[in-house]
Structure formats: structure tokens, C-alpha cells
Amino acid sequence: MNGVDFPVQRVLDGIAAARAAGLAPIKVNMVVRRGMNEESIVPMARWAREEGLILRFIEYMDVGASNGWRLDDVVTAAEIIDRIGAVFPLEPVGRAYRGEVAARWRYRDGGGEIGVIASVSQPFCGDCTRARLSADGQLYTCLFAASGHDLRGLLRSGADDEAIRRFIVERWTGRRDRYSEERTEATARRPKIEMFAIGG
């Protein structure tokens, strides 16, 4: 793999393929976990600048039950911005659309931009616009949901478009998901669906 770890090479190959297909802008995500990769924040930012990529940093989240999440492992958005800004001065950019989850920052020298998803330190439940559909047809109204709504069963029952639309609208408008805003010892013990099962 030319001295590059296999997973990294796969990312590089994917970026090259996206460029060859004319896709732009290309965004790359990095989940930051204390004690594991926080020292890579600035090197990754530098690499993305040089490659002309938009890098999205994501606070380490307690999705699912298998990742051993602890609050102490979270590197906050503020720390990420401080680390990068000390090397490459940054300024905030307004969100591109309502419900955009990444706070955007641009380099003052015109070298591109980054984004930070701060769902732990700055939760955005009240403005969330993201529903998820699992491979087995369950509609999830929150990344931290314990269960979904059976959209597959409705589709297989022969429901028409209006019934399907009404089902989705009712589930969405009736949602009370506020996990990230309520994150406490009590919520930490709630059962959760693993992220891979609902498409991230």
C-alpha cells in the first residue's frame, strides 16, 4: 500500500475516485477522541488544506453501546477550533442552511474551510432535520433512538403515497427526541441502536 495503512489508502482512493468523477466539494470526516487521535487534528487540517478538501471534525459521540464512550474522551469543538486556529487563523462562517449540523469556519488566508459537529458540547436537537431509514425499513427520528417506526410494514401492506407521507409526517412532528440535550447518567443507561445499523 505504498507505506500507507490500508484504511487510509482506501480513503485516499475514494477521494481520487470522487475527483475523477468530477464530484465537488469533497468532504472528509474525522471523529476526534481524546487519548487516541487529538494530536492529529492540526496535521489533518494541514493535509486537507493542501488537498483542497473540506474537513469535518466530529466530537466523539455515545452512539450505540459498543464504543466504550466516556465524556472524558470528548475533545470539544472549542478545543478543536483553538488547536487549529493557533496554527491557521480561522473565522466563523454562517450556516449554509437551517439544520446544518456542522459549524463552519474558514481560514483567514483563503485556504479553504473546516466544519465542526459539536453534538456533545453544543447539542442541536431542537433544530434537527435528520431522519434515518435503516436497511430493514425502520424509520428513526434520532441517531440515539432505542427503536424505530416500521415503514417497511406500511409499504408492504400496499399503502398509497398519501398514507406513507402522513405516517412519516406524524412520526416526525410527534417526535420528542432530545437525547443530546438531556445527556446525563440516566440517558447513558438507555438502550441505543448501533450507528452502523441506521446509516450513521
> Across 119-198, where does the E strand assignment appear?
132-133, 138-140, 149-150
- Do 30 and 112 fall within a single domain? yes
How many whole angstroms from its chain centre is CA 18? Answer: 20
Is 1 part of any domain? no
The predicted pLDDT at position 2 comes to: 43
- Do 105 and 176 fall within a single domain? no
- Do 90 and 109 fall within a single domain? yes
| Residue 197 to residue 158: CA distance in whole angstroms | 25
* Among 102, 122, 142, residue at a domain's last position: 122
The predicted pLDDT at position 147 comes to: 83
- Do 164 and 78 fall within a single domain? no
- Do 86 and 27 fall within a single domain? yes
Query: Tens digit of pLDDT for each residue in 71-85?
Result: 889 999 999 999 999
- Do 30 and 108 fall within a single domain? yes
3-state secondary structure of 74: strand
**Residue 13 or 199, more confident:** 13
Q: Is the pLDDT of residue 165 over 50?
A: yes
> Across 23-161, where does the E strand assignment appear?
27-32, 54-59, 90-93, 102-107, 113-117, 132-133, 138-140, 149-150
Q: Is the pLDDT of residue 102 over 70?
A: yes
Give the strands of the sheet with 113-117, arranged side by side. Answer: 27-32, 54-59, 113-117, 102-107, 90-93
* Among 122, 148, 181, residue at a domain's last position: 122
Nearest to 105 by CA among 121, 118, 124, 123: 118
* Among 71, 89, 122, residue at a domain's last position: 122
- Do 103 and 167 fall within a single domain? no
Nearest to 171 by CA among 193, 196, 143, 150: 150
Domain boundaries, position 160: 127-197
- Do 136 and 109 fall within a single domain? no
- Do 10 and 87 fall within a single domain? yes
Nearest to 40 by CA among 92, 75, 3: 75
Number of structural domains found in the chain:
2
- Do 12 and 105 fall within a single domain? yes
Give, in order, the Cα–Cα distances in Å from 173 to each of 129, 152, 166. 11, 20, 10
133 pairs with which residues across the strands? 139
- Do 89 and 10 fall within a single domain? yes
The count of C-alpha atoms lying within 13 angstroms of the C-alpha of 141, restricted to the half-sphere facing its C-beta, is 19
- Do 40 and 11 fall within a single domain? yes
What is the mean predicted confidence (pLDDT) over 147-158? Answer: 94
The predicted pLDDT at position 4 comes to: 44
DSSP H helix total and E strand total for the chain: 7, 8
Is 68 part of any domain? yes
The pTM of this model reads 0.74
Average pLDDT along the chain = 85
Residues of the chain with pLDDT > 70, as a percent, come to 82
